[in-house]
Chains A and B, each alone.
Chain A
Amino acid sequence: MATNIAALLETLRETKVWKSIFRRGPANSNRTRSIAVFGNLFLHWMPVKVREKALQVRASYYLGSISLFLFLVLLVTGILLMFYYHPAAPSAYRDMKDLQFVVSNGVFLRNLHRLAAHLMVFMVFAHMFHVFYRGGYKPPHEFNWVVGVVLLLVTLFLSYTGYLLPWDQLAFWAVTVGTNIISAMPVIGDKIKFLLLGGHIVGENALLRFYVLHVVILPLAAFVLIGIHFWRVQKDGGLTVKPKDSDGK
């Protein structure tokens, strides 16, 4: 059986289609493995070699990975919810109720999106505290710490903009209170509030603006920043290694 699969793979490697896609032989030496990493769009920005310690699994290792996983869950469920949601004042609340009571599995998707969002905020904070208490902000990780802080803010803004979309009383007053906090900023506060709401009150313009921020601008920002964040983890020499750990322990 195993020889059959190996033989099949060998035959596949000889085909023109395979060769046009991979343009290399099997990755069975350090050199060919490097070529495999360099020649792959999704791997080429990763280091060819990673310290074994950097890949060691600790209990707290998962906090960042769980945050990423929740982000992917939110991406998938969010895109699915968009198929039934109109970001306009008369229909937004009805669409949300339709998702709960009319659409097949709609209540599952909506609750998954909502709970994953709550959980992501919690996990991102837990991740931040873990990195902080382990000294993960120290050189050479300072830049990645700053990227992480921006990612925390993006997570919070994603949460906040998503909170308005059900268009119920809770959403309305949360955003009324939140944008009034913004307007307390000296000099530019009222201007920022006006631009964010597209008016003086939380109305149709505000709903549409928060929707665009929630489904396009902030996820794109998060996507790019997550890419930089993960890339820097590897480029900075893997996850935080305490000096105590580095002497062969």
Chain B
Amino acid sequence: MSDTKEPTLPQSSAAPGADLNRRDFLGQVTIGALGIAGLGSVAVTYQFFSPNVLFEPATQFRAGTPDLYPIHSVTYLQDQQVYIVRMPEGFYAVSAVCTHLGCVTQWKEEAQMIACPCHGSKFKPDGIKIEGPAPRPLPHFGISLTADGELLVDKLQGVKNTQALRV
């Protein structure tokens, strides 16, 4: 019966690697060294392909003084791809990039909705999804006032869509 067979124990009497001759040892060292060098090359190639400096639009920007935006208005800032939305409760900074596949949406004044030209997603001015393939509402960015009274939007800071800036 194979299941009653004693498991073969490692030969503890011999020193580890005693049966390794010089040729095998050097062979294993070579393979190990080549392996380490190979992994290192993959790592440095990965680093090489990840740019350290990007010439992309700034993620933090000033959007002028609050009185530029009338109440119940949606203003599209083209360079930053952000809507500055002013409602009676305050200011929102809503991303203009569709959450479906990254197309830039448009504010339709007459229909009072944000619409995506690529695949027909529709959103309310506060970014809530009305319909379409978009899986999520448009994200809101952090918006604050600078010391000299200008709006400051930070695209790296996501905030809840109920959080408005009161001015």
Contacts and interface: CB of A to CB of B under 8 A. Distances in A.
A199 interface: yes
Interface residues of B, number: 12
Contact of B55 (A179, A195, A204): A204
A201 B50 contact: no
Given A176-B101, A198-B49, A203-B56, 12 more contacts: A177-B101, A177-B102, A177-B103, A180-B102, A194-B50, A195-B49, A199-B54, A199-B56, A201-B56, A201-B57, A204-B55, A205-B54
B52 to A, nearest CB: 11
A103 interface: no
Nearest to B51: A198
A199 B102 contact: no
A179 B101 CA distance: 8
Q: Majority SS of interface residues in chain B?
A: loop
B51 A199 contact: yes
Interface of B: 46, 49-51, 54-57, 101-103, 118
A181 B103 CA distance: 12
A194 B50 CA distance: 8
Contacts of B50: 194-195
A176 B55 contact: no
Contacts of B57: 201
Q: Majority SS of interface residues in chain A?
A: helix
B56 A173 contact: no
A200 interface: yes
5 A-B pairs with least C-beta separation = A180-B102, A177-B101, A180-B101, A176-B102, A199-B54
A176 B46 CA distance: 22
Interface of A: 173, 176-177, 179-181, 194-195, 198-201, 203-205
Contacts, number: 31
B101 to A, nearest CB: 4
B51 A205 contact: yes
A194 B54 CA distance: 11
Nearest to A181: B101
Contacts of B56: 199-201, 203
Contacts of A194: 50
B103 A203 contact: no
Contacts of A205: 51, 54
B54 A177 contact: no
Given A199-B54, A200-B56, A204-B55, A173 B103 contact: yes
Contacts of B102: 176-177, 179-180
A198 B50 CA distance: 6
A173 B118 contact: yes
Contacts of B101: 176-177, 180-181
Nearest to A177: B101
A194 B46 CA distance: 11
Contacts of A203: 55-56
Nearest to A191: B50
Nearest to A199: B54
Contacts of B51: 198-199, 205
Contacts of A195: 46, 49-50
Nearest to B54: A199
7 contacts: A173-B118, A177-B101, A177-B102, A198-B49, A198-B51, A200-B54, A204-B55
